Amino acid sequence: MSVLIFAELDEGALKKSSLEAIYYGSKVAELTGSSATAIVLGEGNADELAKAGRFGATKVLHASDPKLNEGNAMAYASVVAEAAHQEGADIIVLAKSSLGDSMAARLAGKLKAGLAANVIELPDLSNGFRVKRSIFTGKAFAFTALTADTKILAIKKNTLTPEETDAVATVEAFKPTLNEADFAVKVTNVEKATGDILLPEADLVVSAGRGLKGPENWGIVEDLAKALHAATACSKPVSDLDWRPHHEHVGQTGIKISPNLYIACGISGAIQHLAGVNSSKVIVVINKDSDAPFFKSADYGIVGDVFDVLPRLTKAVKEL
């Protein structure tokens, strides 16, 4: 019995969400009296991979074949399934992401496993194996019992705050059998979002809507984001108007985020937008309309003109 954690790479580095998954997996291993092993696919630096030990993994299996660099969900599912058999893993943990969702479903079929997504707490083992999940875009919770011999847990971002240690994991080469049928779909081009801080991994996010009145005014949003070392985001109407790139759109039909702090500037707070951001730990709303629906979901609210509030807020942050 052991816990296997699938960890994603971004340009050779372990993603922050995957480090959280490794920490979660190590805690599950403690609960079950087993060990935590991470598996990483694609080319990466051994010293970087050894960082998994700081978050609780005792060992890292590294399948470094260049064919695994592109995030092929079919191939990834086959490789992780092979690793699970090798390690005797009956619990598999991964971060919930676009790649993780696609891969986990295929993996569940291969292993005949029970799959729980959007897991937000460590499992309750007092009577079987039960997990708490976020459902209905964060409006409710479900308690799900997994009865299959093998269990797959897709962890929502910010489920646990990792505690980093000085430990180093052992990195072992893993050479899986690659099935050519898994590479029937070829990745011909990958376009990644650009920016100092990528939105899906950001702890702090500054977002704005049509209250900014036009793309020429976005400088005050970017100034605050830079002062906070935060990512920038926008509402759907803003991306539809091409004021901002579509990869910054957060909401039900855009990117769903779970930062520690989400600052919404000039956004009314339509239900579709809330569905993508209501997992944020703290929400701050800035809007001159005191009746804006977003205030009902905010932890803190400022009734005021964003063109007055944002420069003053940025100045205060810089002074601190």
Two tokens, residue 286:
């800035």
What is the helix (H) or strand (E) element at residue 285, kind and residue range? Answer: strand 282-287
Q: What is the pTM of this model?
A: 0.84
For the chain, the structural domain boundaries read: 2-183, 199-319
The mean pLDDT value for 37-49 works out to: 92
The mean pLDDT value for 277-301 works out to: 95
Binding residues for FAD: 210, 266-273, 287
- One of 3.40.50.620, 1.10.10.10, 3.30.1490.190, 3.40.50.300 is the CATH number of 2-183, namely 3.40.50.620
Q: Are 72 and 185 in contact (CB under 8 A)?
A: yes
Question: pLDDT digit string (tens) for 203-239?
Answer: 999 999 999 999 999 999 999 999 999 999 999 999 9
Cβ–Cβ contacts within 10 Å for residue 57, how many? Answer: 31
- Model confidence at 106, in pLDDT bands (50, 70, 90)? very high
- Model confidence at 61, in pLDDT bands (50, 70, 90)? very high
- Which of residues 252 and 193 earns the better pLDDT score? 252
The amino acid sitting at 311 is P
pLDDT reading at 189 higher than 90: no
Could you give the CA distance from residue 156 to residue 97 in angstroms, rounded to a whole number? 9
The mean pLDDT value for 71-87 works out to: 95
Binding residues: 210, 266-273, 287
CB crowding 88-98: b at 16 or more within 10 Å, else e: ebbbbbbbbbe
What's the mean per-residue pLDDT of the chain? 93
Domains 2-183 and 199-319 share a fold: yes
What is the helix (H) or strand (E) element at residue 9, kind and residue range? Answer: strand 9-10
* Residue corresponding to tokens 């479900």: 142
Q: Are 223 and 242 in contact (CB under 8 A)?
A: no
Give CATH for domain 199-319.
3.40.50.1220
Percent of the chain with pLDDT over 90: 78
Closest CA to 38 of 101, 92, 76, 113: 92
CA end-to-end distance (rounded Å), the chain:
50
pLDDT reading at 288 higher than 90: yes
pLDDT reading at 194 higher than 80: no
